Structure formats: structure tokens, C-alpha cells
Amino acid sequence: MIQLRWFLFLILSMGLSLSSICVPSAESANLAPNTLKSLIEKINAAANNRDSQKLMALYGDQFATTDGLTAESFSKALISLWEKYPDLKYITKLQSWNKIERGWVAETLTTIEGTSETSGRIIQLRATIKARQTFQNGKLLHQEILTERTELNSGSNPPKVHIKLPDTVRVGEKFDFDVIVQEPLNEDLLAGTAISEKVDNDRYLEPGVMELELLQAGGLFKRVRASDKPENRWLSALLIRENGMTLVTQRVRFR
């Protein structure tokens, strides 16, 4: 039995703590409001300086996420993330924006990379997140994660995997969750497991327990049934061999 902290709360800083701001074309760059870009840059500077006070000053008092986090719980999660991954690097592309009353709604696609050391073991993190943020009166008021994938690797030779999993599924439908190891295992033993959990603010800092089993094939292959009501879930797969570990988590939206 193995218990892992997944640090999935890092996704809540995507699109907010930016090391660089990119736009898909020159036309988009010209159309993006300077005030919006300036606000994102200020948030970026505060995050890169690990200055939680300046960062949270750019959030509205009623800031909330669709996952149930408030400004207070978000701040605690972000500080914990900085302590665990002190070298995080963010690259964010501004994909679209719309003018609303006293502000904007912006969609961003962010890639994050960083490393952590635990008991002498190096953990490499890579995440990609598409998010929608609402800015009003110079403050960030609301955030929704649209797509999300986080991968943690550790060891000299972590399994290289390919994930087959939809981002959105209709309620009640069945779908495949396949995690395929990309290289031959030869004589290596492979252990792993896959779990599904409802996206919940309590789970950001207190994830569940994953029980391992020996795998007979080169990966994990699961048939999953979506719940009968709309919700977001994290589907996670953990694969371990003698000289490496890979943990992948992807958000699936049941609609």
C-alpha cells in the first residue's frame, strides 16, 4: 500500500503565476487589452518572487474556484506547493478573452515543470492545464479548470506511458482508461493501480490511498462508467518498476 501526495492543487496557479505570456498570433497580441496583460504580469511577478501577500492582494475578497477553493485555502495550497517545488517554471499561452462588465474572461493553456526532493529521491513534475479566469475591477474573482493533466516521475528509468482518456464524457456513459507503457519491459516486474476520485477541495491536500498489484500486461486497461450526475473526477494511474515510478492524473468532466 502506498500513499502519495499528488500536489494537484498546483493547477490552481496555472494561468495566474506565469513565467512568460504567449499569444497564438500577432493579431491576438494586438487585440489583447494592455490592462489584462499587465494584471497577469503583476500576478506572475508576485508568484515568481514567492510573495504570497502581493499575490493575494490581486485576488478579490470573494475569490472562488469551481473546485470549492477560497482565497484562503488557495493561498495555503500555493505556499505548500512553493515549498515542495521551489524551481517551478510556467509557460502560458493566452488562447482567448472576452470583455465583460468591468473586466474580462480569459482562457489560458499552461505548461508547468519543476522538481522536488523527498528522502533523497528526486521527483519531476510536469503539468498541462487549460483554465478559464474571470477578472473584474483589477482583481481575479473566479477560476474554472477546463482540462488538466499532471505527471510525476521518479527514479533512473520511470515508465514512459501513453494515456488514452477523454477530457469530457456524458453522464452514465462507459469509457476506456488505458495507460500503455511505451517501451518493452523485458524481465522487469511492473506494479500499478488506477483509481477514480471526485474532484474535491479536501482532496488537494489530503489525497487518498493507492493499493498496488502486479500487472501482467504492459500497462493498465480499465473500463469506467461515468456517474449519473454532472461532476469532475480525477482519474489516476500509478506504475512502478524496480528503477522508476510514474504517476499520471487527468481530470475528466462528466456532462
User: Per-residue pLDDT tens for 222-238?
Assistant: 899 999 999 999 999 99
| Measured CA distances, 58 to 40, 68, 75, 162 (Å) | 10, 19, 12, 38
Which structural domains are found in the chain, ordered by start?
2-147 (3.10.450.50), 155-254 (2.20.130.20)
Among positive and negative, which fits the CA dihedral 148, 110, 15, 37? negative
Tens digit of pLDDT for each residue in 33-64?
A: 888 888 878 887 787 777 889 989 999 989 99
- The contacts of residue 242 (CB under 8 Å, 6+ apart) are 188, 189
Residue 168 has pLDDT above 80, yes or no: yes
pTM across the whole model = 0.79
Contact 184, 157 (CB under 8 A): no
Residue-level pLDDT at 50: 79
Residue type, 55: L
Please, is 72 exposed, middle or buried when counting C-beta atoms within 10 Å of its C-beta (0-12, 13-18, 19+)?
exposed
**Which residue matches cell numbers 505527471?**
151
